[in-house]
Chain A
Amino acid sequence: MTKVKRFDGDNRPLSIEEAYANRPRLWWVYTIVVLIVAALLGWSGSSITYKGLASKGITIAQGIGNGLLHPDTSLLFNLTTEGVPFQLLQTVAIAVLGTIIGGFLAIPFSFLACDKIVPKWVAVIFRAVILGIRTIPSLVWALVWIRVTGPNAFCGVVTESVCSIGMICKMYITAIEDIDVKILESLDASGCNGFQKIRYGMLPQIIPNFISTVIYRFDINVKDATTLGIVGAGGIGAALIQCMNSSRWSMVGAYLTGMIVLMIIIEIFSTRVRARLARG
C-alpha cells in the first residue's frame, strides 16, 4: 500500500530515517473507525438513560454484598434436595446429558451440512436449519419444551440437547473439512475396504476434535443450565431466582458461592482435558 520512496535513486536498503519517513500512515482509517464508533455510541446513548438507583437500590446492593460475604452455610452443606450440593448435581447432570445427546445428534447434521460430502444444495439447506436452531435463544427453547415435558429437570436436558446442536455442528463441520484425504488414498492403495478406511483413516482424525468440541460445549452448557431454572427447567436457577425475588440474600450468597466454585472447577478440568487432547 505504501510506496517505498528513496531519497536517492540506487537500490541500497532503506536507512532508519527513510524507513521512518515512509512509515505507513493510517490516520484516515483510524479517523473513520473512531467516527463510526462515536456515531454508533451517540445513537445508542439516545435510549439508555440513567434514571438513578431504584428506590431500594442501595439496600439491595448492600444485601447482595452481605449475602456474598456471609453465605448461608447450613444451606451450603445441606444434603437434601433443597441444599446447594443437590442443586449443583442436578445442574451438572442436565449439562452432561444435554451435551452427550447434543453431541450425537450433531453428527448426522454436520455430515449432511458439509459440502465436501453431500451435494451443495443439501448442505445449504442443513446449514440454514442449524443457523435457525442457533438463533432461537435457549430460554425460548426451554419455554417451548416446557409445554411438552412439564417444568422439571428433564425439560432442561431436552433444551440443552437441542441448543447444543448449533455450535457443536459448526465445529464438527470444520473438523470434517480438515480431514487429510491423502491418508484415505493411501489406505485405498493398500487395499482397504470402505469400513477399514473409515475406522483407520477417518475416525482417528476426527474423534479427538469431536471430543474436544463436546467438552468445550459442556463448559457452556453448565453455565446455561444454571439460568434455565429461571423459567422452571430444573437446575439451581429456580431456587436462586426465588431467593433473589424474596430478598433472602444469605441464601443467594450460598447458591452463588456454590455456582462459582463449580464453574471454576469445571473450567479448570475442561481446559486440562482439552490441552491433553490437543497434544495427543
Chain B
Amino acid sequence: MKKEITAEAPALKPALLDRIIPPRTITLPNGHTVLKPVSRTPIISVLVIAVIIVSAVVTGFNFKIIIDRGYQLGYILGRIFHPNWSYFGSDPEKTQKLLTALFDTIKMSIMGSVIGATLALPIAVLSSTNIHKNKFVIWFLRILLMVIRTLPTLIIAKFAALIFGLGTFAGTVAIVIFTFGIIAKMMYESIETIDLGAFEAAESFGANKFQSFWSACMPQILPTYLSYCLYSLEMNIRAAAILGYVGAGGLGILINEFIGWRDYESLGAVLLALFVVVFIIENTSQYLRRKLS
C-alpha cells in the first residue's frame, strides 16, 4: 500500500510521426522554447488520395457514362414527378391497392417499433455497467447487440421471409430485430450517464434492485427512452417501405412491380404517398420529441 506519490506527471509518449521526424524547436523572445510538431496535412492528403484512387479503380469509376447517358435519369425522374393520379381516388381498385400497401407499411413499423423497443429496455439495463455488475453478461450482450446492428435490415428481412414465409409478419420480425439493436445500444449509453444517487438511496432503504431501478432510474430515463422510440419509428417507416423488395410486405412489393414494368408514373404515385406519410410522421414525432426534452 505504500506508494510514493511523485510530483512530476509522467512524460507523454510522443506520437509515432513525431518520433520519426522530430518537431522543430522555436525559441520565443522571452527565452522559453516551444515544440512545433510536423504538419499532418501532407500525410493525410496522400493517404486520402491513395484511397480514392484505389476505390475508383475497384469500382470502375467512369464519369463519361453519366455525361453520355445522363439524359436517361432526367427522363425517368421526369416520369416519376408526373405521378399517376388514378392511384389517389379516381380509380377505386388502384387506390385500394396503394392504401393497403401503405397501411401495411405503417402497421409493420408501428408494431415492430413497439415490440422492439419493449424488448430493448431490459436488455439495455442488463448491459449498462453502472447498474449491472456481471462483466461476462455485459460483454456477451454488447457483442450480441453489435452483431445485430451490423446486419442490414434487408438481409434480416430476407432471412425472415425465408423462414416465416412471404408477408407482413416477416417484415415485422425484421423491424423488431433492427429496432431492438439500435434502441438497446442508445439506451445503455444513456443509462450509464444517469445520476445513481437516488438508486443507491433506495437500495440502502432495503428496496431490491428492480424496485429501486423502477422508482429512481425510470423517471430519469423515460423521456430519453420515449424520444428514442419515436426516432426509431421515423427510421422504421423508411426502412419498412423497401422491405417488400425481398418479399416482406408493404410498399416495397409495389415499388418492385412498377420498376419491373418500367411504370415510372405509378412509381411516382407510390413515392408521393410515402413522402406524405414520412413527412407527417417525422413532423409529429419531432414535435413530440421537442416536448419530451
Contacts and interface: CB of A to CB of B under 8 A. Distances in A.
A96 B242 contact: no
Contact of A154 (B52, B59, B77, B274): B59
Interface of B: 51-52, 54-56, 58-62, 65-66, 69-70, 72-73, 76-77, 80, 103-104, 106-108, 110-111, 114, 146-147, 149-155, 158-159, 162-165, 167-169, 172, 238, 241-242, 245-246, 255, 259, 267, 271, 274-275, 278-279
Interface in A142-160: 143-145, 147-150, 152-154, 156-158
A150 B73 CA distance: 12
A16 interface: no
B66 A132 contact: no
Contacts of B255: 137, 139-140
A94 B51 CA distance: 11
A90 interface: yes
B169 A50 contact: yes
A237 to B, nearest CB: 8
A144 B73 contact: yes
Interface in A222-262: 223-224, 226-227, 230-231, 234, 237, 240-241, 244, 256, 259-260
Shortest beta-carbon contacts, A-B, top 5: A93-B55, A263-B150, A54-B165, A44-B107, A153-B59
B136 to A, nearest CB: 20
A237 B149 CA distance: 17
B154 A230 contact: yes
B62 A144 contact: no
Contact of B271 (A135, A149, A240, A256): A135
A45 interface: yes
A154 B64 CA distance: 11
Given A48-B111, A139-B245, A149-B66, A96 B162 contact: no
A117 interface: no
Q: Which of A89, A97, A148, A157 has the most CB of B within 10 A?
A: A148
A176 B259 CA distance: 38
A125 interface: no
B155 A240 contact: yes
Given A47-B107, A149-B69, A223-B152, 16 more contacts: A48-B111, A57-B163, A93-B54, A135-B278, A135-B279, A137-B241, A139-B154, A140-B267, A140-B271, A147-B72, A223-B150, A227-B152, A227-B153, A237-B154, A237-B155, A264-B150
Contacts of A143: 259
